[in-house]
């Protein structure tokens, strides 16, 4: 119980810092997690999502496991997270020429159905082998108080499974894509993270730490 309380306190402090620092910034997303919205996604039709996702197989794989390091694997990803990303592409909070074009042609129901389909699939399995990654392990389990870095697991889960609505699963994700994403946050090229959380965190990480974290999460599965 003591550890649980401590984790909640860490999350509250970090969230408070982000909120205070960026209270007057432009919204990073137009998605609001109301009970109706959560219920809408929960009731999505994954069978329809499977049919819609056929157009995505070239980049994201037939079963949501990407064949290319340039694109993310979506298998096992939280439905709420995938839904938010599609909405952000459509609304311009996240920029990518191909994905913006695809998302613009999708209805809210299409997005929810596709997100449900990918969520129904098992997380990707690691094919890269195991390495000793002491720096990443410490950042995930302990964080770094000197840099106000919270442990990664407090948000992304002890097994990288993701938590809440907008915090993604990371286990089994392509290391190259993972590292590129953190670098995009670090440089401010990506900015659809709520309260600028990942921008703040990534700017405290060295490039070497980002690479090691990417390897760590890829080999969790």
- pLDDT tens track for 7-45: 444 454 444 444 444 444 566 788 999 999 999 999 999
Best CA proximity match to 214, nearest among 156, 148, 145: 156
Give me the pLDDT at residue 13, please. 43
Mean pLDDT across 200-216? 97
User: Looking at the structure, do residues 152 and 210 belong to the same domain, yes or no?
Assistant: yes
CATH number at residue 201: 1.10.760.10
| pLDDT of 3 higher than 50 | no
5 domain residue, yes or no: no
User: Looking at the structure, do residues 101 and 140 belong to the same domain, yes or no?
Assistant: no
User: Looking at the structure, do residues 91 and 153 belong to the same domain, yes or no?
Assistant: no
Burial 157-194 (b: 16+ CB within 10 A, else e): beebbbbebbbbbbbbbbbebbbbbbbbbbeeebbbbb
Mean pLDDT across 143-162? 94
User: Looking at the structure, do residues 43 and 115 belong to the same domain, yes or no?
Assistant: yes
User: Looking at the structure, do residues 145 and 115 belong to the same domain, yes or no?
Assistant: no
Tokens 């938010």 correspond to: 84
Last residue of a domain, one of 78, 95, 120: 120
Residue 164's domain comprises 134-218
User: Looking at the structure, do residues 163 and 187 belong to the same domain, yes or no?
Assistant: yes
150 domain residue, yes or no: yes
61 domain residue, yes or no: yes
User: Looking at the structure, do residues 156 and 83 belong to the same domain, yes or no?
Assistant: no
User: Looking at the structure, do residues 116 and 84 belong to the same domain, yes or no?
Assistant: yes
2 domain residue, yes or no: no
Last residue of a domain, one of 120, 146, 169: 120
- Coil vs helix vs strand at 144: strand
18 domain residue, yes or no: no
Quote the tokens at residue 130: 């195991």
Radius of gyration of the chain from Cα atoms?
A: 17
25 domain residue, yes or no: no
Tokens 């407090």 correspond to: 154
126 domain residue, yes or no: no
With a CB cutoff of 8 Å and minimum separation 6, the contacts of 69 are 174, 175, 176, 177
The whole-model pTM stands at 0.86
Last residue of a domain, one of 81, 96, 120: 120
Give me the pLDDT at residue 9, please. 42
**The CA-based dihedral angle spanning residues 122, 127, 128, 133, taken in that order and rounded to the nearest 10 degrees:** 40
User: Looking at the structure, do residues 173 and 148 belong to the same domain, yes or no?
Assistant: yes
79 domain residue, yes or no: yes
User: Looking at the structure, do residues 55 and 92 belong to the same domain, yes or no?
Assistant: yes
- Which DSSP helix (H) or strand (E) runs through 81? helix 79-91
Give me the pLDDT at residue 26, please. 61
Give me the pLDDT at residue 166, please. 86
User: Looking at the structure, do residues 146 and 181 belong to the same domain, yes or no?
Assistant: yes
Residue 143 binned pLDDT confidence (cut-offs 50, 70, 90): very high
d(CA 163, CA 168): 7
Q: How many domains does the chain have?
A: 2
């Amino acid at each position: 119980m003591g550890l649980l309380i401590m984790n909640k306190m860490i999350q509250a402090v970090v969230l408070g810092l982000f909120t205070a620092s960026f209270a007057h910034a432009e919204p990073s997303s137009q998605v609001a997690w109301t009970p109706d919205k959560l219920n809408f996604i929960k009731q999505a039709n994954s069978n329809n999502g499977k049919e819609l996702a056929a157009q995505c197989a070239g980049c994201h794989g037939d079963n949501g496991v990407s064949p290319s390091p340039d694109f993310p694997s979506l298998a096992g990803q939280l439905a709420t997270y995938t839904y938010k990303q599609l909405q952000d592409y459509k609304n311009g909070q996240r920029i990518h020429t191909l994905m913006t074009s695809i998302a613009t042609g999708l209805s809210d129901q299409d997005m929810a159905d596709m997100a449900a389909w990918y969520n129904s699939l098992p997380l990707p399995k690691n094919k890269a082998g195991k390495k000793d990654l002491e720096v990443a392990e410490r950042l995930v389990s302990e964080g770094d108080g000197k840099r106000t870095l919270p442990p990664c697991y407090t948000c992304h889960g002890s097994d990288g499974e993701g938590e809440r609505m907008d915090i993604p699963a990371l286990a089994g994700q392509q290391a190259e894509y993972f590292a590129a994403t953190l670098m995009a946050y670090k440089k401010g090229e990506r900015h659809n993270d709520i309260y600028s959380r990942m921008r703040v965190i990534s700017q405290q990480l060295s490039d070497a730490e980002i690479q090691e974290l990417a390897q760590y999460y890829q080999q969790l599965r």
